[in-house]
Amino acid sequence: MNLKELLDGVTYEIVQGRPEVEVKMIHFDSRKVEKGDLFVAQKGVSADGHEYIGKAVAAGAVAVVCEVVPEELKEGVVYVKTANSSEALGIMASNFYGNPSRRMKVVGVTGTNGKTTTATLLYELVRLLGKKAGLLSTVCNYIGDERVHATHTTPDAMEINELMGRMVDAGCEYCFMEVSSHAIDQRRISGLDFDGAIFSNITHDHLDYHKTFKAYIEAKKAFFDRLPKKAFALTNGDDKNGMVMLQNTVARKYTYSCKRMADFNCKTLERHLDGTLLLLDGSEVWTRFVGDFNAYNLLAVYASARLLGFEKEELLPVMSMLVPVSGRFETILSNEGVMAIVDYAHTPDALENVLSTIGELKKDGTVITVVGAGGDRDRTKRPEMAEVACRLSDRVILTSDNPRSEEPAAIIEDMRAGVPEEAESRVLAITDRKEAIRAALMLAKKGDIVLVAGKGHEDYQEIKGVKHHFDDKEVIKEIFKL
């Protein structure tokens, strides 16, 4: 494709050369550039791509898109200046792959918690209704039935469009995707043609990246601000910041709520450990999901499907067929009657929701929580997570999550700061996650519940740059001898 076609929709200025040059591939990492490629220089968190323009050109780049043009220009290379390279990259990535998002109904889900659940259930729902669909999510990406390994919650702009292009080729009519706040801020989604956006909730997370809660809200809101008129903007009316998302959008605005008047409503009628009876849009529906927070996810799924044009009568029976996503409130019962629950709760709010749910549903017996916090991520959530765990469980074992580049013991110390004095005797710290899980399961007696939180579906533990195989469910089954 030639550079001029690629730049369609981008505001730019040609500083040197002619835009008719043929481009083989687009890269934003100089280390991947080969002869005939285009290099896009963007400012990142730890580096600035502009410093690698020389390397990219030396590797054979025929064109460079950047915000600041280098002082020395190499002859024969086209230099393009634009105000925001990441924004330009999104648009060019879409053009490069033939704008696949315009050829499907694309719905994005944003929010601190519930993105994977909501996006995955929408994907499952339309497939149960006989439609072909794709999914971009934390756990796994899907092109119809085909699984594609996921490295991010929202992939980079090139990968998004490459995957969407394959979805279109496979005949997918729908694409559901998680939209992380990092992705919005880094413009990984710019250039995409959305048909709908869903906001689940916003609570404490990612302050390492966004710095303030206000900036975190603004990042999420920017997704709604940039929606086209034809799209629906569906927000959680019960979240404190739900209406903020709709303030400046030109999209069609809708709300969902379990507590007040809204366009779509739901009420929990009965709570059980194996499911929940809901009053959804005025009709009783049995669902295989546990926890009031899942009523919100299911309501968002139902409302979105209605806004995509599906009828209530065809939707309700299928809502009962949906099953939980891997690593979200998954229960494993031992032969001795101890129940382990694996859940991906890795924020204070998620932990609070899951533990409150367990508290409401358990009969007698105690609750033991095994929890850690990720390294190289928001430090300020660590003591809050420990506080919630202590408040809502009888015993707590603090352990490692993905320490990444940090010292596991130091992360546990950060968590310890949130342990109230009264709870100290109920808290243990065991750095080795497997030993921590083993200790909790050994302490538990018949009727007790052990929550293993934070890693859910993950099948690895990242320590100092190396991903070691680790799977909470596998470990539990091994210790339970199942």
Ligand X SMILES: N[C@H](CCC[C@H](N)C(=O)O)C(=O)O
Q: Which residue, 49 or 327, is less far from ligand UAG as judged by CB?
A: 49
Is 403 annotated as belonging to a binding site? yes
- Residues 263-302 interacting with ligand ATP (rule: CB under 6 A): 293, 296-297
Q: Are 201 and 297 in contact (CB under 8 A)?
A: no
Contact footprint for ligand X (CB under 6 A): 153, 346, 374, 377, 401-402, 454-455, 458
* Dist CA 210 CA 53 (whole Å): 27
Query: Rule CB under 6 A: is residue 67 a binding residue for ligand UAG?
Result: no
According to the annotation, is 294 in a ligand binding site? no
Instruction: Report how many residues bind ligand UAG under the rule CB under 6 A.
Output: 19
Residue 151 CB, shortest distance to ligand UAG, in Å, is 7
Nearer to ligand UAG by Cβ, of 109 and 295: the residue is 109
- Comparing C-alpha atoms, which of 357, 360, 362, 363 is closest to residue 324? 357
- String marking each residue 373-392 x if it binds ligand ATP according to CB under 6 A: --------------------
Of 163-171, 180-188, 191-199, 464-472, which part binds ligand UAG (CB under 6 A)?
180-188
Q: Is 187 annotated as a binding residue?
A: no
Q: In the window 121-160, what residues touch ligand UAG (CB under 6 A)? A: 152-154, 156
Q: At a CB cut-off of 8 Å and minimum separation 6, what does 324 contact? A: 117, 288, 289, 290, 294, 330
466 lines the binding site for ligand UAG (CB under 6 A): no
User: Is 42 a known ligand-binding residue?
Assistant: no
To ligand UAG, the closest distance from the beta carbon of 41 in angstroms equals: 7
In the complex, the residues that contact Mg ion under the rule CB under 5 A are 115-116, 138, 153, 178
Residues making contact with ligand UAG (CB under 6 A): 28-31, 42, 44-47, 49, 52, 152-154, 156, 180, 182-183, 186
| Binding site, annotated residues | 30, 111-117, 153-154, 180, 186, 188, 377, 401-404, 454, 458
| Binding site, annotated residues for ATP | 111-117
